[in-house]
């Protein structure tokens, strides 16, 4: 029941974040969605995820505020309003149709398919020595996954450095 | 089932933001909301009624845990989401420096 309330809160806050005029208020509202998600992870018995989500959310908010501060602009609605809205609603309706068709194939809420993870649960502690099974999965059974994650993260950092550099290397050499 | 539908509703809000809004920051926020809803959906799929967190403890039955596999994968996904958001925001900052606006219809030279 509290999960339903939390999800309703997330949906309402997300609508506020999308619809409010002021960009900084919008960023604050999306922060509220992220922290509600953190609480939802705690209720769903995923403490590792709650910790990670908290840290990531704070970093995300700092980055978003850096992008939006002092850069407000009034949005004027002009031209093709009807076309844009109708096409958006059509896309969302198509998505909801297919998502609902897929939803009926999923297992019921509260009774997960434990077919893959049964081996991890039975042998996890004896094979890896990790008490926390989530860390046993990400650092031992699926360690290549974590390696790929680190690769993606550092690639993103290289991309940010390349994009945000104020001037290219060639110009600096020419000046010297 | 209701929880799945609410999760889909959250996804739809994000999709609406991505498709309909013309401000770059609003589009990025929509992407973030989609990411939140998908992470939550995976964790919902692994939840078990009256389950406990996937951490071993003395004198507890091992088979009433929630599914740790979606949690491990979502842990990866959250961190990658941070990387994606940071990269997109940095591109948006560069666009603002070059064109002086976040409005995607005013960025003329990006049109095909």
- Domains of chain B, by residue range, sit at 2-53+62-110
Q: Give the position of tokens 């893959």.
A: A116
> What residue in B sits closest to A32 (Cα-Cα)?
B33
pLDDT for residue A37: 93
From B53, which residue of chain A is nearest by alpha-carbon distance?
A45
Distance CA A169, CA A70 (A): 29
What residues does each domain of chain A span? Answer: 1-72, 118-176
Mean pLDDT score of chain B: 85
pLDDT value, residue B105: 78
Can you say how many angstroms the Cα of residue B99 is from the centroid of all Cα atoms in its chain?
28
**Local confidence band at A74 (pLDDT 50, 70, 90 cut-offs):** low
Using alpha carbons only, how large is chain A's radius of gyration in Å?
22
CA distances for B26 relative to B30, B54, B59, B102, angstroms: 6, 37, 50, 9
Residues A100, A9: Cα–Cα separation, whole Å: 22
CB A33 within 8 A of CB B36: yes
Say which DSSP state B63 is in: G
Higher pLDDT, A172 or B69: B69
Question: Which positions in chain B touch A138 (Cβ < 8 Å)?
Answer: 72, 75-76
Half-sphere exposure of B59 (CA within 13 A, CB side): 0
> So what's the pLDDT on residue B10?
93
Q: Count Cβ atoms below 10 Å from residue A158 Cβ, excluding itself.
A: 10
pLDDT, tens digit, for every residue of B36-90? 999 999 999 888 888 788 777 765 666 677 888 888 899 999 999 999 999 999 9
Q: Could you tell me if A69 lies within 8 Å of chain B, comparing CB atoms?
A: no
Chain A residues in contact with B46 (beta carbon < 8 A): 112
Is A34 close to B36, i.e. CB distance below 8 A?
A: yes
Q: A143 in contact with B at a CB cutoff of 8 Å?
A: no
Mark yes or no for CB contact A112/B46 under 8 Å: yes
Å from B45 to nearest chain A CA?
A: 6
B112 min Cα distance to partner chain A (Å): 19
Q: Is A92 in contact with B16 (CB distance < 8 Å)?
A: yes
- Band (B24; pLDDT cuts 50, 70, 90): confident
In chain A, the residue whose alpha carbon lies closest to the alpha carbon of B16 is A88
C-alpha distances out from residue A118 to A126, A139, B9, B41, Å = 14, 18, 32, 21
Residues 6+ away with beta carbon under 8 Å from B12: A92, A95, A96
Averaged confidence pLDDT in chain A: 85
What is the assigned CATH class of domain B2-53+62-110? mainly alpha
Percent of chain A with pLDDT over 70: 90
Tell me: pLDDT of A130 over 70.
Answer: yes
Residue among B25, B49, B73 whose CB faces A110 most closely:
B49
The closest CB to that of B71, out of A46, A100, A145, belongs to: A46
Among B6, B8, B29, B62, which would you mutate to test the A interface (most chain A Cβ atoms within 10 Å of its Cβ)? B29
Find the largest Cα–Cα distance for chain B. Answer: 66
**Contacts with B78 from chain A: Cβ below 8 Å:** 49, 52-53, 56
User: Do the chains contact at B12 and A92, CB–CB below 8 Å?
Assistant: yes
Residues written for chain A: 176
CA atoms in the 13 A half-sphere facing the CB of B3:
22
């Amino acid at each position: 029941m509290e999960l339903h309330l939390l999800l309703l809160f997330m949906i309402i806050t997300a609508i506020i974040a999308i619809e409010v005029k002021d960009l900084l208020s919008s960023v604050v509202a999306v922060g509220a969605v992220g922290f509600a998600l953190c609480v939802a992870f705690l209720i769903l018995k995923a403490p590792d995820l709650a910790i990670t989500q908290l840290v990531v959310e704070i970093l995300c908010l700092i980055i978003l505020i850096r992008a939006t501060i002092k850069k407000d602009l009034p949005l004027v609605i002009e031209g093709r309003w009807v076309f844009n809205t109708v096409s958006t609603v059509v896309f969302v309706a198509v998505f909801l149709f297919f998502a609902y068709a897929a939803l009926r194939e999923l297992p019921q809420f509260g009774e997960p398919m434990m077919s893959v993870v049964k081996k991890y649960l039975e042998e996890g502690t004896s094979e890896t020595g990790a008490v926390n099974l989530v860390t046993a999965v990400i650092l031992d059974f699926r360690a290549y996954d974590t390696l790929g994650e680190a690769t993606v993260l550092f690639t993103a950092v290289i991309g940010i450095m390349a994009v945000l550099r104020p001037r290219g290397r060639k110009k600096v050499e020419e000046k010297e | 089932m209701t929880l799945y539908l609410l999760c889909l509703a959250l996804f739809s809000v994000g999709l609406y933001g991505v498709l309909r809004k013309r401000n770059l920051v609003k589009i990025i926020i929509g992407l973030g909301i989609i990411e939140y809803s998908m992470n939550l959906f995976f964790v919902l799929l692994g939840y078990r009624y009256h389950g406990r967190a996937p951490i071993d403890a003395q004198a507890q039955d091992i088979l009433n845990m929630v599914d740790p596999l979606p949690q491990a994968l979502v842990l990866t996904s959250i961190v990658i989401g941070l990387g994606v958001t940071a990269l997109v925001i940095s591109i948006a900052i560069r666009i603002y420096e070059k064109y002086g606006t976040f409005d995607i219809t005013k960025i003329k030279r990006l049109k095909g």
